[in-house]
Each structure stands twice: as C-alpha cells, then as structure tokens.
Amino acid sequence: MRSRVAAAAVAVLATVGAASTADAEPTPMREVEGVPVLARTLVASSIQNAPPPAVLSVHGVRRVEGAAVVYFSMGIPESSQAPARSNFSTYGTGFFNVLSQNPGVTTFQCSVAALDIAGGRAFTALRVQGGQRCIGTRTGEFATTSETGPNAALVGHTVIAPIPPELTEVDLYVGSQVLHDVPVEDGVMEPLHEGSGPVVVGTGWPEVDLSQVATAVTPAEAVRPLRTMVTDLKAQVSQTQKSVEIDASVLFAVDKSALTPRASAIIAQAVARIKAAAPKGTVVVEGHTDSNASDAYNLKLSQARAAAVAAALRPQLPGYTIQAVGKGETSPIAPNTTAEGRALNRRVSISLPK
C-alpha cells in the first residue's frame, strides 16, 4: 500500500481541524436515498468556545471542462446541541496558505484540494477577483438558517484545478482532514437544486458556475508541488536536530493519558531515532497541551502524558536515563487562537541524547 503522505509546511497538514476529533467515530447523519457518500469524518470549528463538531461528508469529485468540482456537505447531528445558526465556513479551514494560490481567504470552501501523492501534486481551489475569492459555495449559503433548521446537512462545492484523466482516485484535503482513496468521476452532479439559498442534502446539487473558470487567476498555479513538504500522516512524527516531535492525537484519545494501541508503533520509531542519535544518555520527555481548559488541568494532563510515554520508552532503552516533564500550555509552537495552532501545540517532545 502506498505511503500516506500529504503536504504541510509545519509537519502536519491534517491534524484534523482540531485533533480532538481525530479518533472520534463520526456520528452517522441521516442517510438520504440517492445521495452517495464517498467519505465521512468529523470536523471541529476553528472558533474558540465553538459549536459542536460537525459531520463532513464527501459526495463527489467530478471532472468538468477546465476544472474539477468537489461536492461535500456539513451537518451537526441531532444528538448534539446545535446553535440556531451554524456557519460551516468557520470549520476546520486548515493550512490554507500552503495549499492555496493566495492566502487572502480562509474559509472552509477555499481550503479544499485533491492530492496526488504519487505524482507529488495538489490540485487546489481556483480563485477569481484578484485571488480574493475561490469559485464555489458562498459563505452565506453554507450556514444553517431558521428555514433549514440547526441540524440540517448543507451541501457545498469548491471548484479546483483540473484533475488529469489518468487519476481515478485522489486523497482529498477538506475540512483540515485528509480523506483517502476518493474516486474521481466525470460531469457535474445532478439533479440541480432549484431555488436560492442553502442547499439541504437530498434536495439536489448546487449549480456550478463554470463561466468563472475562464476568469480564474493563473489556473496553472493552482497545481501545487508536494515533494518539498511531505510528512507521514500515518506516523505524524517529525524530527529536528535536538528532538522527536509527536502529534498527541496519535498517542492518546481526547483528554486521556493512556496510550492508544497504535502508539506502540510510533514509540518504536522514536526509540530507533534515539538509539541512532547516541548509544546512551539522558532523554527528556515533555508533554504539551493547547490553551483550552484551565492551566492546572492542562499541566496535570501534560504530566500524565509525558509519564506514560517515558514509561513506554524505559524498557526499550536500557542504559538511558528517561525523565518526564509536563509543560502544560506554557510552550506553544503556534498560536492558540486557531484550531490548527491548537492542534500543533498538542504534542509530545522527546529530546535526543547528545
């Protein structure tokens, strides 16, 4: 099976809109007859004190003349306490400045890309009007209203760079998630939705304004290279000259300090890198959190997580001194004002012995 890699300038492209939803099983939305669901996941809002996570469903990736269209929907399950108005454009916008031609717009719809991992390419959103707007569902049409109801699943679409005919499947970057092996088909989705305003799942598909493709800003630049900024999403481990950095979401469940079953493989990678750095010495394991919750809670959680990783390392590193330290939220590597920044701050750092 091919390696699961994707673009990111800061070690993780898809830390999942907020990594707090990474291991959660999406709550099934109401199935609608005749509506295909190619992939589904949870996405958190990028706003602090945000509404509940929403279910993201991908319904189609379709080739059209001079472009491709990604169809998706967002909805908050009825089991959650959804607000009267949910603006899905604020959910999991991701590292838009990596994947887009112009970082001027940060909405969900402008942060969509099809990834050709083998070919090292990302087919990103086409933009018009000086690069300040992407072609697709407008922000006001991607929010629940009094008419749609708070639990409605709304359809959106984004027009991206054309996908070559030899690609029958792509990995899709949408909602700060990477969804694997999504099939690519031809032609717009039908029937079309009649009327204006938000499109509710099952009432048809939004009309795609293909006339805007001809006015898109430098479409060739919407195909971005991946080769120089890849990370193994399956491991989500990166290494500097002094430390091994591990995304906390691959080690722990949300707000937990017990190692998950998949953590053993990640820790084995860290052990190999520690041994390669020096045959003995002192290794310091630091736990870090984002700024959500209280200082005391975050410090306690980070201490427990560091201790858990240190305990797993000790039997595999005889002759090394292993220390565990909890840093809580005191050493962020990214702003805690965005979901992406908070996801990066939830990590375990393991110092390499000198």
Q: Rounded to whole angstroms, what are the CA distances from 109 to 69, 202, 220, 255, 321?
A: 11, 20, 19, 30, 48
Reading the block at residue 27, the tokens are: 């709550």
Short-list 329, 354, 292, 244, CA closest to 11:
244
Domain boundaries, the chain: 5-232, 237-351
pLDDT number for residue 144: 84
- Asked if the model's pLDDT at residue 49 lies above 80, the reply is no
Helix or strand (DSSP H, E) at 265: helix 263-277
pLDDT, tens digit (0-9, with 9 covering 90-100), for 81-111: 666 678 888 887 655 454 545 455 568 888 8
Sorting pLDDT into bands at 50, 70 and 90, what band is 41? Answer: confident
CATH topology classification for 237-351 = 60s Ribosomal Protein L30; Chain: A; (3.30.1330)
Residue 261 DSSP SS3: coil
Report the percent of the chain where pLDDT is more than 90: 35
Burial class (CB in 10 A: 0-12, 13-18, 19+), 100: buried
Confidence of residue 150 (pLDDT cuts 50, 70, 90): low
Indicate whether 38 pLDDT > 90: yes
Q: How far apart are CA 26 and CA 43, in angstroms?
A: 9
Question: Residue 177: what pLDDT?
Answer: 80
Give the residue-averaged pLDDT of 1-12. Answer: 32
Pair 52, 44: CB distance under 8 Å: no
What confidence score (pLDDT) does residue 22 get?
35
The answer, yes or no, to whether residue 230 has pLDDT greater than 50, is no
Per-residue pLDDT, 104: 56
Q: If residue 336 lies in a helix (H) or strand (E), which one and from where to where? A: none
**Per-residue pLDDT tens digits for 310-340:** 999 999 999 999 999 999 999 888 788 877 7
| pLDDT for the residue numbered 191 | 94
Q: What is the mean pLDDT of the chain?
A: 79
Please name the amino acid found at residue 214. A
Alpha-carbon dihedral angle through residues 11, 12, 18, 21, given to the nearest 10 degrees: -130
Which of 10-14, 186-190, 194-198 holds the top average pLDDT?
Answer: 186-190
Coil, strand or helix at 175 = coil
* Confidence band, pLDDT 50/70/90 cuts, at residue 18: very low
pLDDT of 326 reads 96
pLDDT of residue 31: 67
Q: What is the pTM of this model?
A: 0.60
Q: Note the pLDDT tens digit of each residue in 58-69.
A: 999 999 999 999
Q: Are 159 and 101 within 8 A, CB to CB?
A: no
What are the backbone dihedrals phi and psi of residue 266, each rounded to the nearest 5 degrees, phi first? -70, -45
pLDDT at 254: 85
pLDDT at 226: 67
Please enumerate in sequence order all residues whose Cβ is within 8 A of that of 311, keeping only pairs 6 or more positions apart, or say none: none
Q: Sort strands 177-183 and 281-288 into parallel, antiparallel or unpaired.
A: unpaired
